[in-house]
Amino acid sequence: MLKLGVNIDHVATLREARYRGRGFGEPNPIEAARICEAAGAHGITAHLREDRRHIQDRDAWKLREVVKTRLNLEMAIVPEIIAIALKLKPDIVCIVPERRLEVTTEGGLDVVANEKAIAGTRKKMNDADIEVSLFIAPDAEQIEAAARTGSQFIELHTGAFAEAFGDIRKRDVELQRLISGAEQAHALGLKVNAGHGLNYTNLPTLCRVPHLVELNIGHSIVSRAVMVGLKTAVKEMLRLMENYRN
């Protein structure tokens, strides 16, 4: 069964637009997490950024208290966030690149150039019984390096596929890259997740990618929730995933 992890960062983004720095406000990402789980989501994803632009420390600690499925903490390899993750003990961390000027995480992690640091962080997390995923492009060298770090998962960056979706030729090229990347990762013993830019339109095509364990989707679900409510938005996405055959 293909699992759905709902990224609630954009709920916090909306709150921070009005209540930044005030320690309270709406909408509440914790309540959003509860609704997503009740609707059938298999996990909750949140990114604790260095600049705290959306998810705040208090959100992370409260999520650890209330999430009953699987808490996935997205994080950069920086000492402050590593220390928080080791105390917080999410079920899994997804190591991502982080750039202050981007709106959201736009590129994959360069594992090749940072293999030693990533492997060291992976060991710290695993020693604390936290699984590790690496957010990477479907590139053969990056996947090989990810396997060498000892990480349990990779999360294939589907942004290029999503951007190319309107152009059939480009879409098929990006889809084949994802298929090849998933097959390579599976052969190397890595579990495969995917995320970035996935929505209700492109997801059925993405389901041609084999060996997927979980999709992490945020913006599309939160956007749809404005129109139909969060519970319905999650259920609609889950229905699109029902026919996935690995």
List, for residues 57-74, the tens digit of each pLDDT value: 999 999 999 999 999 999
246 pLDDT tier (thresholds 50, 70, 90) = confident
Determine whether 196 is an active site residue.
yes
52 and 12 in contact (C-beta within 8 Å)?
A: no
Residue 100 has pLDDT above 60, yes or no: no
Q: Say what angle helices 140-148 and 115-127 make with each other, to 10 degrees.
A: 40
Q: In this structure, is residue 171 part of a structural domain?
A: yes
Residue 204 has pLDDT above 80, yes or no: yes
Q: In this structure, is residue 36 part of a structural domain?
A: yes
Determine whether 47 is an active site residue.
yes
3 and 213 in contact (C-beta within 8 Å)?
A: yes
Q: In this structure, is residue 246 part of a structural domain?
A: no
- Give bridge partners of residue 95 from the DSSP assignment: 75, 134
- 194's CB contacts (< 8 A; 6+ apart) are 155, 156, 158, 178, 182, 206, 209, 212, 214, 215, 216
For residue 99, what pLDDT is reported? 65
Determine whether 42 is an active site residue.
no
Instruction: Give the DSSP letter of residue 152.
Output: S
Q: Where do the H-state alpha helices sit in the chain?
A: 9-19, 29-38, 57-66, 79-88, 115-127, 140-148, 159-163, 168-187, 203-206, 219-228, 230-241
Region 20-26: mean pLDDT is 91
Catalytic position from the list 10, 54, 157, 196: 196
Q: 196 is in which domain, residue-wise?
A: 3-241
Residue 123 has pLDDT above 60, yes or no: yes
Q: In this structure, is residue 138 part of a structural domain?
A: yes
Catalytic position from the list 37, 74, 155, 174: 74
Q: Phi and psi (nearest 5°) for 234? A: -65, -45
Residue 104 has pLDDT above 60, yes or no: no
Q: In this structure, is residue 55 part of a structural domain?
A: yes
Q: In this structure, is residue 35 part of a structural domain?
A: yes
Catalytic position from the list 10, 37, 42, 47: 47
Residue 216 has pLDDT above 70, yes or no: yes
- 137's CB contacts (< 8 A; 6+ apart) are 107, 108, 156, 157, 160, 181
For the chain, the domain total comes to 1
Residue 238 has pLDDT above 90, yes or no: yes
Q: To the nearest whole number, what is the mean pLDDT of the chain?
A: 95
CATH number at residue 196: 3.20.20.70
pTM of the model: 0.94
For residue 11, what pLDDT is reported? 98
86 pLDDT tier (thresholds 50, 70, 90) = very high
